[in-house]
Every structure is written in C-alpha cells, then in structure tokens.
Amino acid sequence: MNSFLAATLLTGLLTFAASSQTVPGYRDLFNGRDLSGWVNVNTDPDTWSVRDGLLICSGRPIGVMRSEKQYENFILHIEWRHMEPGGNSGVFAWSNAQPNPNNRLPDGVEIQMLELDWPNLHKRDGVTPPIAYVHGEVWGVGGVKTTPDNPRGERSMSVENRCKGKGEWNTYDVVAVDGVIKLAINGKFVNGISRSTRRKGYFCLESEGGLIHFRNIRVMELPPGVTTPEQVAPELN
C-alpha cells in the first residue's frame, strides 16, 4: 500500500471513529463450532466441515461456499494452510456467488491461495509458471474488471513472495474500500487492485482440488461509499 493511500484510509477510519457513536470492530465470520453464517453453493455436504476449531475444506468437488450477507467496505482477516502439495484455493470478495457452469466458480475479485509446489506440479510444455503466481495474486474474475497494482497481464502479483508452504499457517488481511483492495500477507502489504467494477457482494471460500484448513475468519465492516446499483451483486435468498 502506498503511503498516501495508507494515510487516507487511516484518516478516514479515525475520523469515523471520532464522530460515530459506534466504533467499528471485528466480528467472527466463522465461530469455530459449525458453519453458521455460511451457505453451501455448489459443493457436496461433506466438502466443508468443522474439527478442533478449524474450518476444513476437502477441496472436492470444485465450488464455493458463500457468506450469508453481502459486504461493501471492510477489513477481512483470514488464516489458512494447505495440507497437500500444490493445493489450490482462495477467497472471493464482492462476488455474486452464482457459479459459472463451465468452471463452477463465481465472479468477484479473487484473492488467491496456492501452495508453494503448485508451479512445479503444473508445468505447461515444460515451462514452470512464475513463483509469484502462488503468492497472493489478486484480480477480477467472471466479468468483474479491476486495475492491477502490479500487473501480470490482467492480474496483480505480490511485490514480495511471502506465503508459506504445506502445513504452515498463512495470514491474509484484506482492506477493501470503494473499489480498491489491498492485501497484506503474513504481516506486510504486498499487493492490490483498484477501480473494481463490483464494490459490494458476498465472500466466497473456494474448494478447488486440495485439502485446506481455515481459522480466525473475521471481518470489520467500514462505512459505505458512493456505490451505484450496477456495482452491487444481486441479493440471494
């Protein structure tokens, strides 16, 4: 995050806190006991489970689980660890939570979570994908357009490789304000996008082929912005 944007966000939060009767704070999106607050969209009943305070995703079949409500401006804290080499997952922000029948995944802004061996296990014509690919790329999917901070094509890649490998916990902190998303990985801001054409929608957790654990999923809702109806995902029952 550049210093100007960081200062602007901090000033806005402090001004809101000083002028409001209610100071924003984190609330749990996962209670550590069950799947309350989440809706299985297109995965199997046993794809998602809870054990020892962890949210466990088997990775099969490909699909998502969505939050019950939509979010606009927020700070999301989420911790994750892959349990298989080359595991693939992610979290979608501002999603419509309506899967494309071709790939079983929805639109939104995808914040990628890949295990470090993924490039080595997915060589194409003998070419290994760049290691930056696995360290928290962020981009618009399913028709949602974004402007990358650190372009790799339409995607934004982290400026520093910070993700840890199989069996190790990673922490993502996602700050989303008025079409801008900044991603901190394991305690440092290293990536982001801006000018998202979607600015309010659901969170979706992704099942994409590998066993992954989640914990400490929390969100702080921030004041709304000037968001047009075209920038809001349709409400789902």
**pLDDT digits over 62-101, tens only?**
999 999 999 999 999 999 999 999 999 999 999 999 999 9
pTM for this predicted structure: 0.90
CATH architecture of 28-225: Sandwich (2.60)
pLDDT of residue 13: 57
Q: Are 173 and 75 in contact (CB under 8 A)?
A: yes
In sequence order, which residues have a C-beta less than 8 Å from that of residue 181 and are 6 or more positions away? Answer: 93, 109, 111, 138, 146, 174, 175, 192, 193, 194, 196
pLDDT of residue 19: 54
Eight-state DSSP code of residue 129 = P
**pLDDT digits over 161-186, tens only?**
999 999 999 999 999 999 999 999 99
pLDDT of residue 182: 98
Q: Which residues of the chain have pLDDT under 50?
A: none
Given its phi and psi angles, is residue 125 left (phi above 0), alpha (psi -120 to 50 degrees) or beta?
left
Q: Are 117 and 105 in contact (CB under 8 A)?
A: no
Which stretches of 119-211 are assigned E, i.e. beta strand? 138-141, 147-148, 151-152, 155-156, 170-177, 180-185, 189-194, 202-207
